[in-house]
A and B are shown apart, each in its own frame.
Chain A
């Protein structure tokens, strides 16, 4: 009778984590996008805050808002995205990188050196925080595409960036791009959000818009890239809930060239926004109506013209409609949008104070930060809360000539997404 196979799996001094088993921090170098063999539930808490006048706030406000909502997570993921945080480099793309080891860093930097002009490369400033361990190497780079290299390709700088993100995420083992936008950055990892916030010294950054997330994943620690927000260029999405229509949403998107890897429902939300806003050029309010559609009984009661629009929207985008409980906040240079599902199964409250607009899963998170709000309200099911920063462009990335496949690869770093050569649309 052989017990060896049994002994291999028996815990010794340290109980094996998913990370060890899959070699994320084990002998093999991690492919960061491969975490999700299992479906990851997006249970959790979130917040978003935007000062429409463009006045900057310390990242401390996001940390404090998330700390109040600590019980919504389980310490296995927290993350932030801040906008306007790099005023000294307003026109540089900033790459926030996670590296498993030095070799990954060298490989990634080889790409930067070859194709970009890097004006600053430095380790991410961090402090030791109890509860944060197993951090990858964290670096940031302020760069722009090398004009000579860019010229030859006929791409816009944004296209170039996304191609690079795609290249690194899919083929540089052990490297992951956490964010790649201008004058913004994503700060995320495994830990409670307030621990992550203090780890990254967020109180020393100042931005006009912050989104943050507290994750309650049903997967083990180990993959820092798995926390929200999910980013592409300057978009960041945080998501609370579960998209039960994920199966059809992902297949619908595949027909447009997006490749959805298993696991994160958030990615269908991100690609659907990309499809509707960038490729189909739908106004933001209508895109939200397509994603969180009114009920037919409600549409039947609308005035004729509105009814016609809604009916078409639902009929055409039906397979893209997000069903299931969700609250989503989408941040970008220019503002933020918060949206909940069509029968509001997840909590979402909003408040304004002067020019500041804030949303969160719980009112107490907003009260921690806003000492005298003018108005506190609960948005209706399916109705977006929109904040626009004065003087910044709106909508997003109209001139990005990317294929959907390139978009999805860039966000998830999975090679299969990149294999198909897709026509530029």
Chain B
């Protein structure tokens, strides 16, 4: 029997003096780390450091350590790369993983700082004074036309107004995460939270489960290349439709739902056989050129009485030109997903080496649309592992209308970013369909945690706006002048449209 050359990444350490021998860890671990023979016995090779057992152990006697195996140092071949070769030699397979790019590329957000008002311009107190975050998502007309209402006043003239825009109470929405990649309880949590927050969640490419119909006004329904769950009712139900062309975690390739995660209900919603792998086709097979996208956008509009249609793309090299084409093809918003974006499953090599940072993508798309005089024709949604309200504020300053959070939302539900989503055995009950695991997310509890997170970030954003001396988010939107770069090269500064600190 060939032994695997790969050593466990972690060591599970149990202080048996404190251990209650209750077996809780055995039950809690989704990866099958523990067996029990008078006391819990861990198999280190299965541990993913998700901390479920650590959190639920009543005696707090478990800790997870890095398996501090010494490797001969090699700046070119880090241990991860060596392990990848061993793994592939064993299996002949494409390495599949979950969540977002974890490689050490420079983080541009961490090199941008925000302004504050002092002396020459007053800051505003967000605790006691109005601080507006409301945002409208969608196409805005070039100007507002009014006519006399016959009574000495005015009314809007016939034609374009913002009736088809979606009102958001905060510039944060939930990213698309498909039912299948996450559990139904997660979808319920997201939908309930979106409704309470006055914002939106997104079905992702797995269709809309009937349990979510009461929340449909706060749901964007996605049309992806697999067309899962897409029928006219689905299209008409949501607040908007989104054509998914790509995502930051895997630009250029389609969705992956491993067979482990396709149970009867997922099979029904997606209309594919149970247990088979759902690998969405890479392109939409009816979109091979920009005019085909226009054709699809208008087919969706024709089918739904002209509801808003957005297009989601991964941030890649020519994202500005693509975004411009998308806007000219009739989209009401463009969703940009940067290369740090998360996923339920993606080939690791694609996740970690393809795509560009969202900061740059926002900057070039925003500038390009302004250069062409069409910035008002579509909103920009930015995503790609937005980590905090600081990232949110900086993204808005660079030009985004709204940010979408996916990884952060799952972390609100307990995700520890262990990158085990693709196995369908998530101990936290998030990226799994196993009933014994999915029941660990109570939708009410989940909704409350999501509402907490978004409220917290919204309040922090208000604090930031107050410090900037503005009381409405649209005064920060696109205002590159409120950012400065620290430690970025000149060319990057030029591309971002941000000056270096000091100037």
Contacts and interface: CB of A to CB of B under 8 A. Distances in A.
Decide if A and B touch, CB cutoff 8 A. Answer: yes
Interface of A: 1-3, 5-6, 9, 11, 15-18, 21, 38-45, 71-74, 76, 216, 218-220, 240-242, 325, 345-346
Contacts of B320: 38
A216 B328 contact: yes
Interface stretch (B8-16, B104-112, B288-296): B288-296
Contacts of B267: none
A11 B371 contact: no
A43 B289 contact: yes
A241 B292 CA distance: 10
A216 B372 contact: no
B434 to A, nearest CB: 40
Interface in B219-267: none
Contacts of A18: 371-372
Given A1-B120, A6-B479, A219-B324, A41 B290 contact: yes
B481 interface: yes
A38 B320 CA distance: 9
Q: Which are the 10 A-B pairs with shortest beta-carbon distances? A: A43-B290, A15-B373, A218-B325, A218-B324, A345-B288, A325-B288, A72-B291, A43-B289, A43-B291, A220-B372
B498 to A, nearest CB: 11
Given A6-B481, A43-B291, A216-B291, A74 B328 contact: yes
Given A71-B294, A220-B373, A241 B318 contact: no
B322 interface: yes
A359 B298 CA distance: 25
A356 to B, nearest CB: 26
Interface string B370-412: 1111000000000000000000000000000000000000000
Contacts of B289: 41-44, 240-242, 325, 345-346
B291 A220 contact: no
B321 interface: yes
A219 B372 contact: yes
B291 A71 contact: yes
Contacts of B148: none
Given A38-B320, A219-B372, 6 more contacts: A1-B121, A6-B481, A16-B373, A71-B291, A71-B295, A219-B324
Contacts of B121: 1
A9 B115 CA distance: 21
Nearest to B320: A38
B321 A241 contact: no
B39 interface: no
A73 B291 contact: yes
B368 interface: yes
Between B142, B298, B321, the greatest number of chain A beta carbons within 10 A of the residue's beta carbon is seen for: B321
A164 B290 CA distance: 36
Nearest to B469: A1
Contacts of B329: 74, 216
A73 B325 CA distance: 11
Between A38, A44, A241, A346, the greatest number of chain B beta carbons within 10 A of the residue's beta carbon is seen for: A38
Interface in B313-354: 318, 320-322, 324-325, 328-329
A406 to B, nearest CB: 30
A5 B481 contact: yes
Interface string B99-140: 000000000000000010000110000000000000000000
A295 B368 CA distance: 39
A45 B325 contact: no
Contacts of A241: 288-289
A17 B372 contact: yes
A11 B479 CA distance: 14
B321 A216 contact: no
13 contacts: A16-B370, A16-B371, A17-B371, A18-B372, A41-B290, A42-B289, A71-B298, A74-B294, A76-B328, A216-B290, A216-B291, A218-B321, A218-B328
Contacts of B370: 9, 11, 16
A40 B321 contact: yes
Interface of B: 115, 120-121, 142, 288-292, 294-295, 298, 318, 320-322, 324-325, 328-329, 368, 370-373, 479, 481
Given A216-B325, A218-B322, A218-B325, A45 B291 contact: yes
Contacts, number: 82
B381 to A, nearest CB: 19
Contacts of B295: 71
A1 B122 CA distance: 12
A165 to B, nearest CB: 28
A40 B466 CA distance: 42
Contacts of A218: 290, 321-322, 324-325, 328
A18 B373 CA distance: 8
Nearest to A327: B289
Contacts of A39: 318, 321
A74 B328 CA distance: 7
A21 B371 contact: yes
Nearest to A4: B481
A12 to B, nearest CB: 12
B144 to A, nearest CB: 15
B336 to A, nearest CB: 15
Contacts of A42: 289
Contacts of B322: 41, 218
Contacts of A43: 289-292, 325
Nearest to A42: B289
Contacts of B318: 38-39
Contacts of B372: 17-18, 219-220
B70 to A, nearest CB: 43
Contacts of A38: 318, 320-321, 368
B74 to A, nearest CB: 32
B255 to A, nearest CB: 21
B232 to A, nearest CB: 22
B126 to A, nearest CB: 20
Nearest to B117: A1
B314 to A, nearest CB: 16
Given A6-B479, A41-B325, A220 B371 contact: yes
A219 B290 CA distance: 13
Nearest to B292: A43
A15 B290 CA distance: 24
Nearest to B481: A6
B383 to A, nearest CB: 22
Contacts of A216: 290-291, 294, 325, 328-329
A228 to B, nearest CB: 14
Between B121, B373, B479, the greatest number of chain A beta carbons within 10 A of the residue's beta carbon is seen for: B373
Contacts of B120: 1
A260 to B, nearest CB: 16
Contacts of B298: 71
A194 B57 CA distance: 74
Nearest to A74: B328
Contacts of A240: 289
A16 B288 CA distance: 31
Nearest to A75: B328
A71 B295 CA distance: 8
A45 B291 CA distance: 8
Between B290, B292, B328, the greatest number of chain A beta carbons within 10 A of the residue's beta carbon is seen for: B290
A18 B292 CA distance: 25
A220 B370 CA distance: 11
A240 B269 CA distance: 37
Contacts of A44: 289, 291
Contacts of B479: 6
A38 B324 CA distance: 11
Contacts of B321: 38-41, 218-219
Contacts of B115: 1
A317 B318 CA distance: 27
Contacts of A219: 321, 324, 372
A21 B372 CA distance: 9
A3 to B, nearest CB: 7
Contacts of B328: 74, 76, 216, 218
A218 B121 CA distance: 40
Contacts of A73: 291
